[in-house]
Amino acid sequence: MKLELIQVQLEEIMHKAGKLEAEYADRLSSVHPNYRESASNLLHYLAFRSFDIGELQQRLRYLGLPDLANIEGHVMTSLRTIWSIINKLLDNKGIMPGKSGISIKRSEELLRINTENLFGEDYSKRKTRIMVTMPTEAAEDHLLVNNLLKEGMDCARINCAHDDQKVWTAMIENVKLAGESMNRGCKVMMDLGGPKLRTGSMRPGPKVIRIRPYRDSFGWVEQPAKVWIAPTGVMPPDNDADAIIPVSSTFVEKIRRGNILLFTDLQGKNCQIEIIRKQGRGRWGLCSDSAYITTGTELHLHKVKESGKEKNYVSELLPSEQYISLHIGDTLVLHSEARAGEPAVYDLQGAVVKPAHISCSLTEIFLSVKVGDPVYLNDGKIEGFVARLQNNQMDITITHASVNGSKLRADKGINFPKTKMDIRGLTDKDKADLPFVVGNADAVNLSFVNRAADVKDLQLELEKLEASIGIVLKIETRDGFKNLPEILLQAMQSYPVGIMVARGDLAIETGWENFATIQEEIMRLGESAHIPVIWATQVLESLAKKGVPTRSEITDAAMSQRAECVMLNKGSYIEKALKILNEILVKMQSHQDKRQTILPRLKNSQGLGLLYADTGE
């Protein structure tokens, strides 16, 4: 009786799969020839997932049969195979329902081919590719790019939201030179900035640099301040510095690791900076003194292994970057007017005379937001809600911030996860950047994809440019996830296509409690369409920025091996992060293939003493 019930359930699923395929026949005829089989399988998978199959899976497991847990890439074949087994067990002679689908081997082959066409050939021992975001210094430091390629970078990502075409060109040239020197390719992927909602500018502060080491509760230095010394305009990777001191380029060239910079600060305090390493055109130093420096401050270079000292001066400083400090209960005014933001103003008794205010990059938000809507600022580090709306400005009441106050600076992300926004994917800047992208990159990463029409807009622009280029869909909103099947069918009219799980914004937009399951569903949908997925945002972030990983991000990196590509962001220790990620991915592929667990032979498994400690492979 159980077998007959299972067979009926399988027939219902296959019937719905056929019905859905017939319903979308016109859409299927429009997809790229390379995706015809895959698009049909995507619809079969959607039909399969429209049923609650948990009970069916349990029945199959109890009978020792495959439980349908990993059939995304070959839905109809797997369903028909189980139906056939049950039919034999029942000794029936019924006609197998549904039409034949993609085999498991064909499914794996399609995903492999599509991955290779988007991300390039597999030059390493691992299946999962690694994409690295290029820091600005990659435009000038060929050795950095060379080292990244040597450590396992497969794709170089350039974000059009930063730098300009001159810098992008230099980055791409260095990537090509590095590839030629190693006789291997490296794909270039370029992100269009998209309609990103961010904070506007802040009012400039005084022209002074404050160096402030991290101290414990007793005032002892717990961690020296990281100081970047470089020619004017040469910024540190990922702005990962506690202080930036501009000096002449000739002076920087004389600074070596182990040298000491001596200076007297504005308060008459004698201070020093120990130089720890060179990076690109700049130098990194550590300072355990609290100090204030301004334009013209005299710097003395003490060379440990050479006699004599060199003297130079701090170059003209830019105004210091202001920020707004927000505490629970504070009010932040967000406005559409493009005026510089300012911190709150207080009277002598500490009462707020004027609340902090700042502009935002998308004025369209004021047409959509409602009183009571939640707001997340600076990647979710600050939370609040809209308390008041009036004349293109909103009062936001802060409900979550650090105990000592959270800093909000210019160009930080703003999220309205519950607000329905009618914002299209391509901006005027995107359209202006697109000719450069199609002329120099292998794929364009489309930001803020919410609906199929956003993909169509990009495809129309590419048609105008008579360009054929890979498309990566950045899924970073609730609507983007909800509409993903329609988005995929539209995107599959082009070839090749990929999905980027933009986990930072997506987690905020969909809710922390929902994100784990949403991430899994995106991975499954990608596999059902044989479209490679990029596991992106904050992978080994602490390691890349601080040089030391957290245990949780090591586990996250291990889980990322199930994707076809993993993205690393910029950081001072990006080479170290890349090397460790490469090792993790190579080790993990002997334990899992996508979501399929692999069981390699345990060391000394003949006896009871299983040496799990021996992890060398």
Q: Are residues 12 and 119 in the same domain?
A: no
Q: Are residues 217 and 330 in the same domain?
A: no
Q: Are residues 382 and 452 in the same domain?
A: no
pLDDT of residue 617: 47
Q: Does any domain span residue 429? A: yes
Residue type, 492: M
Q: What is the mean pLDDT of residues 442-467?
A: 95
Among the candidates 86, 102, 118, a domain finishes at 102
- Hey, is 567 helix, strand or coil? strand
d(CA 526, CA 547): 33
Tens digits of residue pLDDT in 280-305: 788 999 999 999 999 999 999 987 55
Q: Does any domain span residue 86? A: yes
- Half-sphere exposure in the Cβ direction for 198 (13 Å, CA): 12
Residues 363, 365, 368, 371, CA torsion sign: negative
- Hey, is 610 helix, strand or coil? coil
d(CA 101, CA 42): 11
Tens digits of residue pLDDT in 128-175: 999 999 998 899 889 999 999 999 999 999 999 888 999 999 999 999
Q: Are residues 453 and 531 in the same domain?
A: yes
Q: What is the mean pLDDT of residues 17-42?
A: 95
CATH of the domain at 553: 3.20.20.60
* Residue 202 bridge partners (DSSP): 341
pLDDT of residue 524: 96
Q: Does any domain span residue 606? A: no
pLDDT of residue 95: 81
Q: What is the mean pLDDT of residues 594-612?
A: 65
How many separate domains does the chain show? 4
Q: Are residues 38 and 79 in the same domain?
A: yes
Question: What single string gives the DSSP state of each residue in 389-439?
Answer: EETTEEEEEEEE--TT-EEE-TT-BEE-TT------S--HHHHHHHHHHHH
- Hey, is 242 helix, strand or coil? coil
Question: What single string gives the DSSP state of each residue in 194-232?
Answer: -S--BB--B----SEEEE--EE-TTS-EEEPEEEEEEET
Judged by average pLDDT, the poorest of 81-90, 235-244, 584-593 is: 235-244
Using CA atoms, how far residue 7 sits from 48, 83, 84, 102, 570, in Å, is 14, 6, 9, 21, 52
The pLDDT of residue 260 is above 80: yes
Judged by average pLDDT, the poorest of 2-16, 120-134, 272-286, 414-428 is: 414-428
Q: Does any domain span residue 431? A: yes
Q: Are residues 25 and 173 in the same domain?
A: no
- Counting beta carbons within 10 angstroms of the beta carbon of residue 391, is it exposed (0 to 12), middle (13 to 18) or buried (19 or more)? exposed
Question: What single string gives the DSSP state of each residue in 8-74?
Answer: HHHHHHHHHHHHHHHHTHHHHHHS-GGGHHHHHHHHHHHHHHTS--HHHHHHHHHTTS--STT-GGG
Please report which helix (H) or strand (E) contains residue 247, including its range. Answer: strand 243-247
Contact 382, 408 (CB under 8 A): yes
Q: Are residues 24 and 159 in the same domain?
A: no
Residues 6 or more apart whose Cβ sits within 8 Å of residue 299: 245, 247, 251, 261, 262, 263, 311, 312, 313, 314
Contact 113, 146 (CB under 8 A): no
CATH of the domain at 409: 2.40.33.10
- Hey, is 569 helix, strand or coil? coil
Q: Are residues 438 and 584 in the same domain?
A: yes
pLDDT of residue 592: 85
Q: Does any domain span residue 302? A: yes
Q: Are residues 450 and 585 in the same domain?
A: yes
Among the candidates 415, 448, 468, a domain finishes at 415
Among the candidates 388, 415, 442, a domain finishes at 415
Tens digits of residue pLDDT in 330-351: 999 999 998 999 999 988 888 8
pLDDT of residue 259: 92
Query: Quick one: tokens of 491?
Result: 């995107």
State the residue for tokens 């402030």: 212
Q: Which long-range contacts (CB under 8 A, 24 or more apart) does 6-9 make?
A: 6/56, 6/59, 6/60, 6/63, 6/82, 6/86, 7/83, 7/86, 7/87, 7/90, 9/51, 9/53, 9/56
d(CA 295, CA 306): 28
d(CA 270, CA 518): 55
Question: Nearest to residue 386, comparing CAs of 361, 366, 364, 410?
Answer: 366
Query: Quick one: tokens of 14?
Result: 């296959």
Q: What is the mean pLDDT of residues 567-596?
A: 90
Q: Are residues 555 and 430 in the same domain?
A: yes
d(CA 602, CA 612): 8
Q: Does any domain span residue 611? A: no
pLDDT of residue 340: 92
Could you tell me the residue range of the domain that residue 305 belongs to?
208-313
Q: Does any domain span residue 613? A: no
Q: Are residues 446 and 406 in the same domain?
A: no
Q: Does any domain span residue 199? A: no
For the chain, count helices (H), then strands (E).
Answer: 18, 31
The pLDDT of residue 33 is above 80: yes
Using CA atoms, how far residue 366 sits from 343, 355, 372, 509, in Å, is 22, 19, 13, 18
Confidence label for 309 from pLDDT (cuts 50, 70 and 90): low
